[in-house]
């Protein structure tokens, strides 16, 4: 699939912006966006470079980041030495699990920060404590959200 039309290009760029806001390179987002749109759902390295009109270095770095995140995986075909990259749809929830673990780690760290701070700036300290509360709610509610999602997914797979 070559990038066809403005809608696909806009979607790829929009995903790039979201990834950039999350602290990744826009190219990682563009690669992910292209792979989400790809039909069939995989692309070779050369296809990614060509379709995104990007440097090999930028695409290579983006692939390494996305592989490390677990967002993408690759497959090979018998008799073909190329790797074909694809979205790891079975592992998307694992990415959220990692993020939820990061939320818990941030909460624990901020609790230590509050304990290390003097009580001089009450308003600021309360702001941190309120944020910790929000983080703890996210962390605590995550398993229930995943369970609800699994039930929905299971019902859809059964034709429900």
What are the pLDDT digits (tens) for 95-105?
888 889 999 99
pLDDT level of residue 144 (50, 70, 90 thresholds)? very high
Q: How many folded domains does the chain comprise?
A: 2
Q: Which residues are bridge partners to 86 per DSSP?
A: 73
For every residue of the chain, DSSP letters joined together read ----HHHHHHHHHHHHHHHHHTTS-HHHHHHHHHHHH-SSS-EEHHHHHHHHT--HHHHHHHHHHHHHHTSEEEEEETTEEEEEEEE-GGGHHHHHHHHHHHHHHHHHHHHHHHHHS-SS-HHHHHHHHHHHHHHHHHHHHHHHHHHHHHHHHHHHHTT-
CB 15, CB 30: distance < 8 Å: yes
Q: Give the separation between CA 103 and CA 84, rounded to whole angstroms.
A: 33
The answer to whether residues 70 and 111 belong to one domain is no
pLDDT value at 2 more than 80: no
Q: Residue 65: which domain range? A: 5-87
What are the pLDDT digits (tens) for 47-85?
999 999 999 999 999 999 999 988 999 999 999 999 999
pLDDT value at 1 more than 50: no
Residue that terminates a domain, selected from 60, 87, 114: 87
The answer to whether residues 82 and 112 belong to one domain is no
Residue that terminates a domain, selected from 33, 53, 87: 87
The answer to whether residues 62 and 75 belong to one domain is yes
Question: What does the H/E/C string look like for 54-72?
Answer: CCHHHHHHHHHHHHHHCCE
Residue that terminates a domain, selected from 27, 62, 87: 87
What are the pLDDT digits (tens) for 105-117?
999 999 999 999 9
The answer to whether residues 63 and 121 belong to one domain is no
The answer to whether residues 31 and 78 belong to one domain is yes
The answer to whether residues 73 and 103 belong to one domain is no
The answer to whether residues 143 and 77 belong to one domain is no
């Amino acid at each position: 699939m070559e990038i066809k039309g403005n809608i696909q290009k806009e979607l790829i760029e929009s995903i790039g912006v979201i990834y950039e806001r999350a602290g990744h390179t826009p190219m990682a987002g563009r690669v992910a966006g292209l792979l989400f749109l790809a039909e069939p759902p995989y692309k070779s390295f050369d296809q990614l470079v060509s379709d995104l009109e990007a440097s090999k270095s930028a695409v290579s770095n983006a692939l390494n980041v996305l592989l490390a995140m677990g967002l993408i995986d690759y497959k090979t075909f018998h008799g073909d030495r190329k790797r074909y990259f694809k979205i790891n749809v079975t592992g998307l929830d694992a990415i959220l699990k990692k993020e939820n673990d990061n939320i818990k780690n941030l909460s624990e760290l901020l609790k230590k920060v509050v304990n290390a701070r003097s009580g001089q700036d009450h308003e600021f300290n309360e702001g941190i404590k309120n944020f910790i509360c929000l983080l703890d709610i996210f962390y605590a509610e995550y398993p229930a959200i995943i369970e609800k999602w699994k039930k929905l997914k299971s019902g859809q797979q059964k034709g429900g």
